[in-house]
Chain A
Amino acid sequence: NAGVTQTPKFRILKIGQSMTLQCTQDMNHNYMYWYRQDPGMGLKLIYYSVGAGITDKGEVPNGYNVSRSTTEDFPLRLELAAPSQTSVYFCASYGGPGLNEQFFGPGTRLTVL
């Protein structure tokens, strides 16, 4: 049982490049989330999903896209990377109300130069 895995761990992008951050969970959780964390700013919700085929915007969705074709995977796509997207990105999964824990992945540290 690996929990939530994220790849890559680190990445440096040039302005205007695109990339996909991968997130996979093996707990059969319906709910999955993408956050970014900037120093001193806490976790900001980018997108979330309540199940395969269903996604919704969080607080800071601009410049990002997501898809949820399976229960296990929830990739985050960055199109036309900008320096403002330099951050640490965390993926999380949650079984739903009454199922207690929300599990986080180890994070992806992204730098856009």
Chain B
Amino acid sequence: EDQVTQSPEALRLQEGESSSLNCSYTVSGLRGLFWYRQDPGKGPEFLFTLYSAGEEKEKERLKATLTKKESFLHITAPKPEDSATYLCAVVTGANSKLTFGKGITLSVRP
């Protein structure tokens, strides 16, 4: 059974304090890994897709990386507006089944 574990469950940062969010996975046949941002009361908003180990993608203060066992979402000099829940999901199998982790709630204090 595919498993996705995100850590830590919650993270509180001071504005400007860089950190990383972890997504580790145990799956058979990874076809891709997604990162999302979710604000309260809203649906997840797509951030990145990573397909192979060694791949990196960046968007503003966010950078996602992928290894064979885990992915990191690095946040550089975060701002209060980066506060949200960050979700990762793995795509597996011929039918592109998606399995999500429980998410990491990030709070950035001014």
Give A residues with C-beta under 8 Å from B.
31, 33, 35, 40-45, 48, 50, 56, 58-59, 90, 92, 94, 96-98, 100-107
Kindly state the interface size class of chain B when it binds its partner: 20 to 34
Q: Given A44-B100, A101-B46, A102-B46, list of 14 further CB < 8 A pairs?
A: A31-B96, A41-B102, A42-B103, A43-B100, A45-B97, A45-B99, A48-B97, A90-B44, A94-B96, A97-B31, A100-B46, A102-B98, A104-B44, A107-B41
Q: Given the complex, which residues of B lie within 8 Å of A33, measured CB to CB? A: 98
- Give bound CA distance, A42 to B89, whole Å: 10
21 A-B residue pairs with Cβ-Cβ distance under 8 Å, sorted by A, are A35-B100, A42-B87, A42-B100, A42-B103, A43-B44, A43-B89, A44-B100, A48-B97, A50-B96, A56-B97, A90-B43, A90-B44, A92-B44, A92-B98, A96-B96, A97-B31, A97-B96, A101-B46, A102-B46, A104-B43, A106-B43
Q: Given the complex, which residues of A lie within 8 Å of B87, measured CB to CB? A: 42-43
- Give bound CA distance, A33 to B44, whole Å: 13
Given A97-B31, A100-B49, A101-B49, decide whether A40 and B96 contact each other with a Cβ distance below 8 A. Answer: no
Q: Given the complex, which residues of B lie within 8 Å of A59, measured CB to CB? A: 99
Give B residues with C-beta under 8 Å from A.
31-32, 34, 36, 41-46, 49, 51, 87, 89, 91, 95-103
4 nearest interchain CB pairs? A104-B43, A42-B102, A43-B100, A101-B46
Given A42-B103, A97-B32, decide whether A103 and B98 contact each other with a Cβ distance below 8 A. Answer: no
